[in-house]
Amino acid sequence: MTSLRYQRLYVNIDHVATVRQARRSREPDPVAAALLCERAGADGITAHLREDRRHVQDEDIHRLAAAVSTVLNLECALTDEMLALAETLRPPQVTLVPERREEVTTEGGLDVVGHEGAVRSAVARLKRGGVRTSLFIDPDPAAVRVALAVGADAIELHTGRYAHAPSDPATLRALRDAAQLGASLGLAVHAGHGLSVDNVRPVAAIPEIEELNIGHAIIGRAIFVGLDAAVREVRSAMDEARAAHRY
Ligand code: PXP
């Protein structure tokens, strides 16, 4: 009976930029927020440079790459523009995500089964640059197997369905099964989307999941309690959940 390994918390700071872009001004600065998150215990900082630049801007990514002392996880779509940026910047980690212009947020996982060839060449480009590459996928066994086949280092399981229906046992079971399959194939397993201090515990307790990416709920909560407390609350919930589960 051993306790679970430490699970990393990466904080997504996109929505600090969302507030700034509401006025196209300089404040609040997502880079300053990233440094506060690191001081509060974040193990990494995630930022999504969307093609439409609705929140994070190119300059933010360059500044984050210079300022982040933990790990910068750049989320981007599988486009030539984004891959070229990643090749130039060489962040320690890139997570490839799907993007549709009309969506409010990343609504589903990357269709790796339908676009296997394109994903394989994107992963190869990134790996040539020494970038650890993760694929944001639905908790679907076929997608997990393709992620392995195309050479990804990691998968990030989309937790959106679970977040919308946390009391439906099928949503958590799908995450558990996909996490187990991924780890058994030798993939690193991450998860994220729609997680908060209220729903994170069952996901944090899945032993194979080594990293969570959480954004909107932490930045939203920070309005009321401050960013430092908002990060620490989630960190504590994750630690409690993992301490409660011994295998
Ligand atoms: N992981 C990925 C790949 C995402 O695209 C997002 C949203 O940008 C998140 C995690 C974080 O989701 P949320 O903001 O709902 O916590």
Tell me which residue of 101, 237, 95, 217 sits closest to 160, measured CA to CA. 217
1 in any annotated domain: no
Name the residue of 10, 12, 97 to mutate for ligand 1: max ligand atoms within 8 A of Cβ: 12
Residue 53 Rama label (left phi>0; alpha psi -120 to 50; beta) = left
d(CA 188, CA 210): 7
Coil, strand or helix at 61: helix
> What is the atom index within ligand 1 of the atom nearest the CA of 193?
12
* pLDDT score at 1: 43
Distance CA 42, CA 39 (A): 7
CA–CA dist 73, 150 (Å, integer): 20
If one counts every other C-beta atom within 10 angstroms of the C-beta of residue 107, the result is 13
Q: Domain for residue 165, yes or no?
A: yes
| Domain total of the chain | 1
pLDDT for 101 equals 64
At residue 29, the pLDDT reads 98
pLDDT in tens, 216-244: 999 999 999 999 999 999 999 999 999 98
Tell me which residue range forms the domain holding 113. 8-244
pLDDT for 7-34, tens place per residue?
A: 999 999 999 999 999 999 999 999 999 9
204 domain-assigned: yes
Cβ contacts of residue 235 below 8 Å, gap of 6+? 9, 40, 41
The pLDDT, as a whole number, for residue 161 is: 97
What is the domain-level CATH number for residue 227? 3.20.20.70
Domain membership of residue 62 (yes or no) is yes
> What is the pLDDT, as a whole number, of residue 214?
98
- Regions of the chain where pLDDT drops below 50: 1-2
3 in a domain, yes or no?
Answer: no
Residue 107 lies in a domain: yes
- Residue of 193, 208, 210, 211 with catalytic role: 193
> Does residue 134 lie in a domain region?
yes
